[in-house]
Amino acid sequence: MDAGYTPRWGLLLLPVLALGCEGIAWPPPAAHRDTTPAQDQEPPQVVDGSPASSDSNEASGIDGAIAKYIKRMEGAVGHGDRRAALPLPADSAQVVADLEFAPTSQPSTAQPARVEPEPLAPKATAGTEPPAAAPATPSAPLAPPVLADVAVHAAPGFEVTRAEPGAAEVNTALRARSAPTSLREFLDQVPPPDQASFREQLDLCVLRVIAGQYEQARAPLSLVTAEQQELASRFVEALIAIREGHMGDLSAAASAAAQELAKLQESLRRLSDLNVPVLKICSAVRSYGQYDVIDPPRFVAGGGEFVLYCELRDFVSEKRADDYYYTKFDLTTTLLTRSGDSVLEVKDTDITDRCRNLRHDCFIPRLVRLPATLSPGPYVAKITVVDKLGQKVAESRAPFQIVARP
C-alpha cells in the first residue's frame, strides 16, 4: 500500500476508536426497513428510567396499552374506519372490554349482551365500482288493534226493568204452563192485543177462524176506521163461508160464499178509486156495452155532433129506506185544443141512478155539439166524473180531429 494514503485511513478510523462501533448509525438493510405509513406509525414515547415496583410497572403497562388504544381509535375515526378493524394488544384487550361495559350509576345484576361489530365495507378504489348495498329486510306488519274491555251503560234517566216470570212471592198461587199442543191452546195463551195494528188484529182473526173460534173472530177490532172494520168483518165472514162450504149442500155453500164475497167486494170498492175503464166517441149508444164507435173520429169544420160513451166502476151506492140503491155523479165535459185551451165546457150535476139491485158498474152517455167556429186541427174531449157519495174523482180523455171542408 502506498504510504501517502496512510494518514487518510487513520483519520477515518478516529471516530470509530473514540465512540465505538455502536456510535455509528448504519442504515438498516432493505429487508428490515419499516414500510408502515407515517400516519400509522406510533408516535415517540417518553420512557421513565426511574426504578419502580412490580405493581407500578404493571399499572404503567396497562395505562400505556390503553393510551395506545385511544390514540388508535382517534386515528380510526379520523380515517372513517371502525373500531373492530383495529386490533388490540393481547395484554390490554380484557382491560378495554371491562372499560366499555363498566356498570353505570344503577348497577344491574344481568350481564349485558355483547354487540358483535358489523363488518367493514371494502373501500372503493379508483376505477372500480362500489359494491351493491344489501337489500333492506322488510319489517313485519303491525298487528291490527284489538278492542277489549268494553262496558255498556244505560243512558242517564233511562230505567231498565226486567220482569222475571214466576217470581217468588209469599202465599201466591203459581201454575206452570205447558207447551200448546193445538192451535186453540196456543190462542188461549195469547194475551189480548194492546194497541195492535190493523194487520196484527186481522191476522189474529184469521187464526181464530182456522181454529174454529168464530165468535172470537167476529169480535170488533180496536182503534181502526169504519171502512177497515167493515172490510175485516166481510173478510172474516167470507172465510167462514168458504171453510164451512164442505158441510151439507155444496151448491148452497158456494152461493153463500159468493154472497159474502160480493159484500167483501163492495167494501173494497168503497176503499178503491173511481175508475173510468171505457171512454169512446160514438154515433149512437143503445145500452150498456152497446154503442157504435166513430173510427176514425173526424168531423168537418162548421158543425157536427157525437155521443161520449163513459163507463164507470168502483163507485159507491147507498141503500135507502125504500130498498133502492142510489148513486150520484157530477159530470163535466170539456173540449180542449192541442195547446190545452178550452173551447167548450158542459156541466151536468146531480146525475142520480136508482135501482133495486146493487150496481157494480154503469155508463153515462153525453151528447156533444161541436161549435161552428172550431178551426181544423186536433182536439181532445175530456170528462171529469165526481162520485158524490164516495167523494171520489176520475178523469179520462178521447182525441178527435176537425178537418176543412172539401
pLDDT in tens, 4-55: 445 554 555 555 555 554 444 444 544 445 555 545 555 555 545 454 444 5
CA distance 297 to 335: 14
**Considering only 10-19, 55-64, 308-317, which range has the smallest mean pLDDT?**
10-19
Helix, strand, coil % in the chain, rounded to nearest 5: 30, 20, 45
Short-list 310, 311, 306, CA closest to 295: 306
CA atoms within 13 A on the CB side of 380: 12
Q: In Å, how far are 292, 294, 305 from 298, measured between CA atoms?
A: 15, 8, 11
pLDDT in tens, 122-157: 555 545 555 555 555 556 667 777 766 666 665 665
First to last CA, the chain: 172
Cross-strand bridge partners of residue 290: 287
CATH of domain 273-403: 2.60.40.3880
- What residue ranges do the domains of the chain occupy? 183-270, 273-403
Question: Would you state the pLDDT for residue 280?
Answer: 96
- DSSP, collapsed to helix, strand or coil, labels residue 283 as strand
Is it the case that residue 346 has pLDDT exceeding 70? Answer: yes
Which residue did the predictor score with more confidence, 34 or 221? 221
Question: Would you state the pLDDT for residue 323?
Answer: 92
